Amino acid sequence: MLAARVHPGKNVFSLEDIPVPEIGPGEVLVKVNAVGLSRGLISVWLFTDMIKLLPATLGHEIAGVVAATGAGVTRFTAGDRVHVYAPLGCLTPECAPCAAGNESACPSFAMIGYALFQPAGLPGYERYHDGGMAEFVRVPEANLDRLADGVSFAAGCKLATAAISWKAVSVARSSAPGGTLLVTGASGANGSLAVACGRLAGFDRVVAVAAHRASLAPLGRMFPDVTMIATEELDTGWEKKGHLTQALREAVGGVDAIVDFMPIGPAVAAQCVPVLNRGGRAVLMAGNPSLVELSYLDIMTRNLSVSGCPHATRSDVRRTAQLVADGELGVDQFITHRFGLPDVQQAMNTIMLRNGSPALVVLDVAANGTGSGAQPANTERGLTMANTDAAGVVTAPSGAADQQDRNKAIVRRFVEEIINGGDLGAVVDEIFHHEYLEGNYPLDGHSGPEVVRTWVPYLRWVYPDVRHEILDLVAEGDTVMCRSIQTGTPRGFFEGKSKAVPDDQREQRRMEINMLRLKEGKICEHWGPFSRRLDDHVEGEGLGAGMAQAHEAWSAAQAGPAEDTAAENTAAETPATDTPATEAKPEGEPGMNTPQEVFDDMISTLTANPDRTEGLTATYQYTVHGEHGGMWTLAIDDGKAELQPGTADAPDVKINIDEADLLGMARGEFTGTEAFMTGKLRVEGNPVLGMQLGRILG
């Protein structure tokens, strides 16, 4: 059968002929008609190690027809139309999350054709890690539901995506009956679906916020009673001046609930929460990595709720499927791009570059690629590109190709003259817009060309011999994606756990993808880099600790010749085989075998580096479970840190972690972010203060 496969170390799909999977008792072989492709799945593949078994066939959003059934299967027969519920759990009788259809809370959580989220889920993941980007897929009977007659396979494969939007809107509705719903990131797939779900969930009015007016226009045609706000129409510097809050208040006064699907940047969420009416609720759903600052007093005195929302449960998916079957929710209208399976790479580029403002993207596997290129999916929505050729391949509108070539030339100058050449003179003002916004650490959220004159020297200080080799420049509209290989020898901050690398072998090679947006012929936004190490002489990157250490040393180097010399000497004295100073020593070395010793190392680091905690006042209570577990309180007060055993009267943040996971995190086996995302590190209380501590500790 034909399958789109991914392989270790490669960032492209490979079309291969592989055997049809064999099925056993309780399993069903599904002939795939349609499979979804999403930015989330691509990002997990390219930028994390959560896809554990490679090569693999990805694809968790699947709809098709039953081809064969294994022994003991009673609910389905050959020819039944079905859609796949991808979450996998342990399915043991005593597991409450599995019994409730909430496998994402199961200690064995994994997903068919997606990723392994909990180590205990490896057995199930090994059996079902191959997904739907193939002509056939093997699925447990328990993970199938019938697809109603009249519902397209394309809509069927996207039911779980629609269910996420329905879930978020339903959670928001639970504390805000009636009233007004505000949806941010409204031009994206989940945002658009959330707008459609607003009235179905009982809201009287819906407000949609997105970056660009053009991307909101299709929603306006489908839902003419929805109030639309495009942030590009706000005054320059709105991100720091509260102009979105002002625009929302002028448009609707206040809102009763917010569903946030803005994937990047803190400004939108921070400026929408103040518009909530008393008792309102904000549901954050976008996986946005930004640090969002909110008013404690505002939340307290106006009884506001700010919450996340777990994965859609099985009941959420079934409820959404019923809404679609009854004609109340039209998923097909949000499918903007359809491709044959052989065109999966083009589909990936469309999503990552936002070519033609993609919402839902579907691969028509049953068509097996007949007819090449992207097929316009929904002209009513108006989100396909302007022109197509006779075969349906999307082409650039007249005049657009010339502008895209100019945009690529500007990005090439940025890489070759500024990054590689170190030119920070007139060329910076020539090719960077006065509204330029930087999305890269440590200057994320800062704006103006002068930011470039800060972070480029920082990069070139950390990697004195840095060089980028451009592999691809892909342009669409006002956006350019640059795929490149960065090579350079760092000053000793990013080696992580070394394999005794000699100094002459410390050069690093990293595949990077950077996204840049241009306005008026100049670069106005930069997001990235999204990167993957290509060399294999180190285990782990030590990125959090290394970045903090590098930035600290670089900052010291800017203070003057004496400090610069000291920083140079410190870096030079740090061989590639050393563990960075901010990392805990591996288990087995003196002083790092118990939680108490980890906390002693932590307080020593904070005491020796008071500048890290300047301006922060907070109390953190740790509860560690295990043989040497207990409770510790870390009190930070503007540069001073104190650790005491026991509990605090009113901690700002409560942190729960198992002893083994604490030691593993201290050894650098995984970062704090990875521990939090996988459930090893459980945080209660003020999320902003929790993230600040994470940044301080690296």
Per-domain residue ranges for the chain? 2-158+331-394, 160-312, 401-556, 595-697
Q: Which CATH number fits the domain 2-158+331-394, given the four candidates 2.40.50.140, 3.90.180.10, 2.40.50.180, 3.40.47.10?
A: 3.90.180.10
618: closest CA among 606, 609, 630?
A: 606
Rounded Cα distance, 42 and 45, in Å:
5
Q: List Cβ<8 Å contacts ≥24 apart for 611-618.
A: 611/552, 611/639, 612/548, 612/552, 612/696, 613/638, 613/639, 613/640, 613/641, 613/696, 614/638, 614/639, 616/689, 616/692, 616/696, 618/652, 618/653, 618/686, 618/689, 618/692, 618/693
Structure tokens at 330: 């039209």
Residue keyed to tokens 């919450």: 307
Residue keyed to tokens 């970062």: 671
Q: What is the pLDDT of residue 310?
A: 66
Q: Which of 30-44, 447-461, 499-513 has the highest mean pLDDT?
A: 30-44
Question: What is the average pLDDT across 682-698?
Answer: 65
Q: What is the pLDDT of residue 294?
A: 86
pLDDT at 76 over 70: yes
Residue keyed to tokens 């359809």: 338
Question: What is the average pLDDT across 240-266?
Answer: 87
Regarding beta strands 394-395 and 387-388, do their DSSP bridges make them parallel or antiparallel, or are they unpaired?
A: antiparallel
Taking 3-state DSSP, the helix, strand and coil percentages for the chain, each rounded to the nearest 5, stand at: 35, 25, 35
Looking at per-residue confidence, does 82 or 450 come out higher?
82
Fold of 401-556: Nuclear Transport Factor 2; Chain: A, (3.10.450)
pLDDT at 505 over 60: no
Q: 609: helix, coil or strand? A: coil
Q: What is the pLDDT of residue 587?
A: 39
487: closest CA among 472, 471, 460, 468?
A: 468
Q: 634: helix, coil or strand? A: strand
pLDDT digits (tens, 9 = 90+) for 141-164: 999 999 999 899 999 999 999 999
Structure tokens at 586: 């591996």
pLDDT digits (tens, 9 = 90+) for 12-50: 888 999 999 999 999 999 999 999 998 888 878 877 777
Could you tell me if 665 and 675 are in contact, meaning their C-beta atoms sit under 8 angstroms apart?
yes
137: closest CA among 59, 31, 6, 54?
A: 31
Residues 159, 161, 165, 168, CA torsion sign: positive
pLDDT digits (tens, 9 = 90+) for 274-285: 999 888 899 998
Q: Is 559 left (phi over 0), alpha (psi -120 to 50) or beta?
A: alpha
Residue 285, C-beta contacts closer than 8 angstroms, at least 6 positions apart:
164, 168, 190, 259, 260, 261, 308, 309
Q: What is the pLDDT of residue 556?
A: 57
Could you tell me if 332 and 159 are in contact, meaning their C-beta atoms sit under 8 angstroms apart?
no
Opening angle at CA 229, ends 226 and 233, nearest 5: 150
Q: 401: helix, coil or strand? A: helix
Report field, pTM of the whole predicted structure over 0.85: no
> Over 26-43, what HEC string results?
CEEEEEEEEEEECHHHHH
Q: What is the pLDDT of residue 19?
A: 93
Q: What is the pLDDT of residue 136?
A: 95
Q: What is the pLDDT of residue 137?
A: 95
For 160-312, CATH number?
3.40.50.720
Rounded Cα distance, 201 and 340, in Å:
35
pLDDT digits (tens, 9 = 90+) for 90-116: 878 888 888 888 888 888 898 999 988
DSSP state of 445: T
Residue keyed to tokens 């049953």: 366
392: closest CA among 311, 337, 355?
A: 337
Lowest mean pLDDT segment, chosen from 134-138, 222-226, 280-284, 450-454: 450-454
Looking at per-residue confidence, does 289 or 457 come out higher?
457
Structure tokens at 244: 């979105």
pLDDT at 383 over 70: no
What's the Rg (C-alpha) of the chain?
Answer: 26
Rounded Cα distance, 194 and 634, in Å:
41
62: closest CA among 163, 166, 147, 142?
A: 147
Rounded Cα distance, 259 and 192, in Å:
11
The CATH-assigned architecture of domain 595-697 is: 2-Layer Sandwich (3.30)
Q: What backbone torsions phi and psi does residue 665 show, to the nearest 5 degrees?
A: -65, -40
Other beta carbons within 10 Å of 18: 15
| CB-side neighbour CA atoms (13 Å) of 68 | 12
Question: What is the average pLDDT across 279-305?
Answer: 85
Rounded Cα distance, 603 and 520, in Å:
50
The chain-wide mean pLDDT, for the chain, equals 78
Q: What is the pLDDT of residue 541?
A: 39
Rounded Cα distance, 641 and 19, in Å:
60
Q: What is the pLDDT of residue 27?
A: 93
Helix (H) or strand (E) holding 388: strand 387-388
Rounded Cα distance, 662 and 642, in Å:
19
Q: What is the pLDDT of residue 447?
A: 67
Regarding beta strands 479-488 and 360-364, do their DSSP bridges make them parallel or antiparallel, or are they unpaired?
A: unpaired
The two most distant CA atoms of the chain are separated, in Å, by 78
State yes or no: cis peptide before 449, omega within 30 of 0.
no
Q: 530: helix, coil or strand? A: strand
Helix (H) or strand (E) holding 348: helix 344-353
Looking at per-residue confidence, does 385 or 172 come out higher?
172
DSSP secondary structure string, 180-241? EEEEESTTSHHHHHHHHHHHHTT-SEEEEEES-HHHHHHHHHH-TTSEEEEGGGSPTTHHHH
Q: What is the pLDDT of residue 442?
A: 47
Q: What is the pLDDT of residue 583?
A: 39
Q: What is the pLDDT of residue 378?
A: 46
- CA distances to 281, 377, 426 from 438, rounded to whole Å, are 30, 34, 19
Rounded Cα distance, 249 and 242, in Å:
11
115: closest CA among 279, 311, 388, 330?
A: 311
Q: What is the pLDDT of residue 195?
A: 92
Give the CA dihedral 168, 169, 173, 175, nearest 10 degrees.
Answer: 30
